[in-house]
Each structure stands twice: as C-alpha cells, then as structure tokens.
Amino acid sequence: MIDHADPSQTPADETTAKSRPFMLALLCLLGVFALGTAFGIVGAMAEDGVTPVALILLAVALGIAGTAGWGAFRLYARATSGPESPRVRFSRMLLIAGGAMGLVMGIAFSVASDTTGSADLFGNGPLPGWLAGLTIAAYVLVGGGLTLAWLRSIDEHEMQANNAGALAGLCTYLFVEPSWWLGARGGFLPEHQPMVTFLLVLTVYTAVWLWHRSR
C-alpha cells in the first residue's frame, strides 16, 4: 500500500521497505555462510599449508562477507532513520544482542572444533564438558534473559507476528519430529538429528515472523 500521506514515500520506497527484512535476513545469512567458509579455509590452510588457490578463495570469502555485512548495515541504517520510541529501539537492540550471542557461540564452537577436533555444532558426538556447560549457561541464561526482555519490550503488532511464527514453528516440530523418529526406527529415514529439526523449526519460525511483521 502506498503511503499517500507521506510525501517522502514513493512506490519504489514502499517496495524497498517491504522487501527490506528479507534482504536483511538474506545478507546476514550470506555473511555468516561466507565467514564460515573463510574459517574453513583457514582451518584447511593450517592443516595442509598455504596455497595460492586457498588464499584467493579466502579473499573471495572475506570479500563476500564484508560486502554482505556492509549491505546489511546500510539496509539497517535506512530502516532506522526515522524517529523511534525508546521501547522500539530497545527491542531492536535486544534482537541484535541475541544475534551477536549466536555469532559468538558459533565462533567459540569453531575455535573449539579446531583445538579439540570434536566440537561439531551439528553433530551428535561427545563434547568437552566445559564447552557444553559454558554453551548451555550462555544459551539458557543470556539467551533466556534476552528473550524474556524482548518479549516484554515489543509492541502488540510485533507480538502478533511473533505468535504467528511461534505457532508455525510449533506445528513444524509437532509433525516433523515424530515422523522422523518413526521413519528412522522403521529404517527408511536417516538417523535422527535433533539440531536439524531445531534449525528447521527456527527457520520456519523466523520466516513466518518476518513475513507477518513486514506484510
């Protein structure tokens, strides 16, 4: 819908505003993927030695990560250029803090994986006790605190979008988890991977939440 009452808003601006959350999510995912690739290349170089091809791939991965990060920052800056109430600004800061916490946890796992050789985030193998304990503490205490604070700070429209996403995520879990469990026991599905289900639920929740938030 074009905002005719806002002289500064054109149809092109409106299209940009509607697609902004998706572009932001896409750029963040691309940046994280490129950073992960860069970490992988550095790990390979540590094991196999530095080669020109590896250096070029590392430069490309870092270039993509940098471009995605810059693009995400520009989009975010444009989205938050208007006046905002302290509550809206606070809830956004909590979201950013949650994302930063996830990034720190991912980097910690990556570093621990290089040093212990057993800290695969998406595997089912054993973990060093200290790493599992620290991650649980960070996830439950910091993540839980951030989530509670965010839920208390958002407005009713955001809450409605969040509820729609949460319901979609719950339905995904209710149908995927038992089906996979039964299929694995029946021998026609691969071994059950809890983190894959978790990521699937998280993806569905986030997609529905962002769609409801921006439509």
Partner 1 sequence: MNNRLKVLRAERNWSQAELALRLDVSRQAVNAIETGKHDPSLPLAFRIARLFEMPIEEIFHD
Q: Of residues 11, 49, 52, 82, which one binds partner 1 by CB under 8 A?
A: 82
Asked if 153 and 87 count as a contact pair (C-beta separation under 8 A), the reply is yes
Contact between 73 and partner 1 per CB under 8 A = no
Confirm if 68 and 23 have CB atoms less than 8 A apart.
no
At 93, list the tokens.
């800061």
Stretch of residues binding partner 1 (CB under 8 A), selected from 35-43, 78-86, 163-171, 173-181: 78-86
Task: Return the residue of 74, 87, 152, 185 that touches partner 1, per CB under 8 A.
Answer: 87
What is the torsion angle, in degrees rounded to the nearest 10, for the CA atoms of residue 147, residue 152, residue 157 and residue 161? 20
Q: Find the binding residues for partner 1 in span 163-182 (CB under 8 A).
A: none
Please pick, from the candidates 11, 47, 85, 190, the single residue that binds partner 1 as defined by CB under 8 A: 85
Can residue 4 be called a binding residue for partner 1 (CB under 8 A)? yes
Of 127 and 161, the one with the shorter C-beta distance to partner 1 is 161
- Return d(Cα 3, Cα 13) in angstroms, integer: 10
Please, which residue, 156 or 191, has the CB nearer to partner 1?
Answer: 156
The CA–CA distances, whole Å, from 79 to 12, 29, 92, 214 equal 14, 18, 11, 12
Question: Which of 107, 127, 130 minimizes the C-alpha distance to 38?
Answer: 107
What are the E-state strand segments in 66-129?
A: none
Long-range contacts of 194-197 (CB under 8 A, 24+ apart): 194/124, 195/121, 195/122, 196/122, 197/173
Output the CA torsion sign for 66, 73, 28, 11. Answer: negative
Give yes or no for residue 96 binding partner 1 (CB under 8 A).
Answer: no
Contact stretch for partner 1 (CB under 8 A) within 4-12, 39-47, 52-60, 70-78:
4-12
- Select the residue interacting with partner 1 from 13, 114, 120, 158 (CB under 8 A): 158
Q: Token match 């932001």: residue?
A: 24
Contact flag: residue 83 with partner 1 (CB under 8 A): yes
Q: How far is the CB of 4 from partner 1 (least distance, A)?
A: 7
Can residue 11 be called a binding residue for partner 1 (CB under 8 A)?
no
Binding site for partner 1 (CB under 8 A): 1, 3-6, 8, 82-85, 87-88, 155-158, 160, 213-215
